[in-house]
Amino acid sequence: MRIWEREQGNVSLSLEAGRAKDPQGQFVPVGLPFGTAARLILCHINTEALRTGSPVIEIEGSMTAFIARLQGFSPNGAQIRKFKDQLIRLSAALIRLAVDRKGHAVQVDTKIISTFELWVERFEKERFLFPKKIQLGADYFVSLQEHAIPLDERAVVALAHSAMGLDVYCWLAQRLHRLDPQRGQFVPWTALHQQFGQGYERIRDFRRDFLTTLKMVKTQYPAALAKTDKGGMLLGHSPPPVPQRHVILLPSKHTPSGRHG
């Protein structure tokens, strides 16, 4: 798969796999970012950019430390390589977001990472590419500074095994505190399926797994007011998930970084 697309309402999202210049050869295709590792990398680079106040991030040492915090122990070579593979995929990917508006469409083409230094490494005699330094795109960095939402790193660690769990946690974190306290918002199962249910042909199968995931997420965000019934989910105004300490940060508008793993 080289292109991943999703539509919901009048909004369309396209994620296109890119190419990277092999330092010892030609441009080579790299795959789409996907799964928990890609989401966790976004957590890491967003946090580092906001912590340092710079869009330029030194990856190698900081990412190894981040993986160790997630796991509670130092990562081995295979685990580090998995994250490095997702980072090169994320670095090369092109994102297109379009909104239909009464006879015309507005489209934005962007990359989360605009510049990266690529090196050749080997793991168990197999050759692979790894960006050791990256620079976030200017628009992305500005948006991050203006709209980032604090998340509890402990919650991310607890949900690190579940792509859907990370997505739902981030979605609730950015949405609930913005709701009207008097009205709230109702989201039908069809809309939830469109946003979170790729890979599920039947809504009832998605609903079963989503309810399990939501229960897990609410153990990490107990203040979240989110109730479900046969029709969908009722969201209520809630405080942010954690105080302003001990946090990592994500963009306020959730964008899937590939397939649900």
Q: What would the pLDDT profile of 98-114 be if each residue is shown by its tens digit? A: 999 988 999 999 999 99
**254, part of any domain:** no
**110, part of any domain:** yes
The last residue of one of the domains, among 123, 147, 171, is 147
Does residue 157 sit in the same domain as residue 87? no
Does residue 107 sit in the same domain as residue 205? no
The last residue of one of the domains, among 129, 147, 165, is 147
What is the predicted pLDDT for the residue at 75?
Answer: 84
Does residue 142 sit in the same domain as residue 174? no
* Distances in whole angstroms, Cα of residue 140 to Cα of each of 48, 137, 249: 14, 5, 13
169 vs 72 pLDDT, higher one = 169
**253, part of any domain:** no
Strand order in the sheet with 232-236: 185-188, 232-236, 225-228
Does residue 30 sit in the same domain as residue 67? yes
* Angle (CA) 203 260 258, round 5°: 125
What is the predicted pLDDT for the residue at 130?
Answer: 83
Does residue 11 sit in the same domain as residue 57? yes
| Single pTM value for the model | 0.83
- Calculate what percentage of the chain has a pLDDT beyond 70: 92
What is the predicted pLDDT for the residue at 19?
Answer: 96
**255, part of any domain:** no
Mean pLDDT estimate for the chain: 88
What is the predicted pLDDT for the residue at 251?
Answer: 59
Q: What would the pLDDT profile of 9-45 be if each residue is shown by its tens digit? A: 899 999 999 999 999 889 999 999 999 999 999 988 8
Does residue 34 sit in the same domain as residue 133? yes
What is the predicted pLDDT for the residue at 120?
Answer: 84
Q: Which domain holds residue 214?
A: 153-245
Check pLDDT > 70 for residue 261.
no
Q: Which two tokens stand for residue 223?
A: 């203040």
Number of domains in the chain: 2
Burial of residue 60 (CB within 10 Å: 0-12, 13-18, 19+) is middle
Does residue 37 sit in the same domain as residue 137? yes
The last residue of one of the domains, among 112, 147, 182, is 147
Does residue 208 sit in the same domain as residue 92? no
**222, part of any domain:** yes
Q: What would the pLDDT profile of 37-83 be if each residue is shown by its tens digit? A: 999 999 888 888 988 999 999 987 777 888 888 877 888 888 888 99
Q: Which two tokens stand for residue 235?
A: 């969201």
CB atoms near residue 194 (< 10 Å)? 16
Q: What would the pLDDT profile of 174-211 be if each residue is shown by its tens digit? A: 999 999 999 999 999 999 999 999 889 999 999 999 99
What is the predicted pLDDT for the residue at 198?
Answer: 86
